[in-house]
Copies of this chain bind each other. A is one copy, B any other.
Amino acid sequence: MESQIIEALTGIVGDKGILTGTDVTQRLEGWIGAPQCSAKAIVRPANTEELSAVMALCHHYDQRVTTHGGMTGLVGGAISSSEDIVVSLERMRTIVEVDAENRTLTAEAGVTLQAIQEAADSADLFYPVDLGARGSATIGGNISTNAGGNRVLRYGMTRESVLGLEAVLADGTVISSLSKVIKNNTGYDLRQLFIGSEGTLGIVTKAVLRLRAKPRGEATALVAVEDFNQLSKLLSLAESALSGSLSSFEVMWNDFYSLVTSFERHRAPLPSSSPFYVILETQGSSNESEQARLEALLGEALEQELISDAVLTQSVSEREKVWAIRDDVEALFSMVPIHGFDISLPIPAMQDYLEKLKHNLLKKWPDGRLVAFGHLGDGNLHVVIGQIPMEDKEALNEVVYRGLAQLGGSISAEHGIGLEKKAYLQHSRSEAELELMRILKQALDPKRLLNPGKIFD
């Protein structure tokens, strides 16, 4: 029967559209360093119609299907088994339209985030979602995982940038909701079923994205803060003073800042004696205007004693040096073996949570090290814990995720659940919520063929 399915699939997508044998196993099932891909075949439809026929066929044969985007996810959401057919959207990478007047971009799911950013830029517009994997990550993957990134504070998650969506259901039905308008209250918002559901309810094939006006200038500052309570006051002041222009409010705890700036490649713009550091960035009318507004804000913050020190960058290279501190993931590898966590918490609960976490960590692993940084404005905390053996990962997960629920936190701010966080989902979601998720899954994919085993069982 396996050869029968492969033959029928080949009939739909042609020889070019199907990979088997070593063409499958030479691919990885995730990010660099991941194990090799395992699947009956990788099917690469050329368009939505082909994918629809592929899915109808798989549905007929009760064939499980896992979808591949750019394979840059961090929670094992695209891992397949030898029983699966993998669908890759890699041949569907056409930017269908850039409508500059309506400020929308329509693209097939296999287009990379970077290609979308560039196409928007060419039309003198701006697609605001951005993340490190932009060159490989696809828009289909971004949508399926509701990707976040650095500008969520101002522009929202990917969910907020998707105006229209086309998806193929488990049985091959094509749901085309390619709306190009922001306001559209006509019955259930079907887009939401496919955004962030990690390919378990349907396969995203096309999207209409909302583009924004391109900022004409920016300004960046690094400030030191002496007390956690000042951080949210500073955030409020910045949002109010910079109004809609505040684009980043990145907090680095001292552990992080000290560690990173201890490397010679950085020259610390501020001494590493303060408990908190914040990168403030504003994007607005012009470099001059933003510089003036940020300078005024810093003056106000100093006067109100919300910050103890500040550097307002004066050039692109100074700005890049500040961001290089925040982005220096490499420095964290000095604490190997390291374990990264992407959680979110209401701001008032953050500091308490971190202190307790550190306490519990050191009690269990006296050599453990913890550094924290994050997009405070949207509650997202990145915690990297080092010097803990890889085999203790599960015990460590328990320590990190425990207690998050009762603080109103989430075990996954932006990375999703996939396989890796599945066992811990009940730390963030109640049994009633999980049951409703199962009802949705049952309604849309009763044979459980789509991305099997991901998010929940």
Copies in the complex: 2
Contacting residues, chain B, for A152 (C-beta < 8 A):
182-183
Report if A184-B344 is in contact (Cβ < 8 Å); known contacts: A190-B436, A440-B443, A442-B443.
yes
Closest Cβ–Cβ distance, residue A313 to chain B (whole Å):
19
Please tell me if A156 contacts chain B, counting CB pairs below 8 Å.
yes
In the complex, A156→B243 CA distance in Å?
16
Closest Cβ–Cβ distance, residue A310 to chain B (whole Å):
18
Which single residue of chain B is at the shortest CB-CB distance from A297? B285
Please tell me if A192 contacts chain B, counting CB pairs below 8 Å.
yes
Please tell me if A68 contacts chain B, counting CB pairs below 8 Å.
no
Which single residue of chain B is at the shortest CB-CB distance from A156? B160
In the complex, A432→B166 CA distance in Å?
11
Report if A195-B184 is in contact (Cβ < 8 Å); known contacts: A103-B236, A156-B160, A284-B243.
no
In the complex, A156→B159 CA distance in Å?
12
Report if A379-B181 is in contact (Cβ < 8 Å); known contacts: A433-B175, A456-B187.
yes
Stretch at the interface among A78-86, A331-339, A410-418: A410-418
Please tell me if A366 contacts chain B, counting CB pairs below 8 Å.
no
Closest Cβ–Cβ distance, residue A438 to chain B (whole Å):
10
CB contacts under 8 Å to B, within A165-218, are 169, 173-190, 192-193, 195-197, 201, 212-216
In the complex, A58→B326 CA distance in Å?
55
Contacting residues, chain B, for A295 (C-beta < 8 A):
none
Please tell me if A245 contacts chain B, counting CB pairs below 8 Å.
yes
Give the total of A residues in contact with B, Cβ under 8 Å. 103
Contacting residues, chain B, for A193 (C-beta < 8 A):
188, 192, 436
In the complex, A302→B230 CA distance in Å?
44
A243 and B285 within 8 A (CB): yes
Which single residue of chain B is at the shortest CB-CB distance from A415? B185
Please tell me if A148 contacts chain B, counting CB pairs below 8 Å.
yes
Please tell me if A13 contacts chain B, counting CB pairs below 8 Å.
no
Contacting residues, chain B, for A444 (C-beta < 8 A):
436, 439
Closest Cβ–Cβ distance, residue A235 to chain B (whole Å):
8
Which single residue of chain B is at the shortest CB-CB distance from A200? B188
Please tell me if A242 contacts chain B, counting CB pairs below 8 Å.
yes
Closest Cβ–Cβ distance, residue A23 to chain B (whole Å):
32
Please tell me if A409 contacts chain B, counting CB pairs below 8 Å.
yes
A160 and B157 within 8 A (CB): no
A186 and B428 within 8 A (CB): yes
B408 and A179 within 8 A (CB): yes
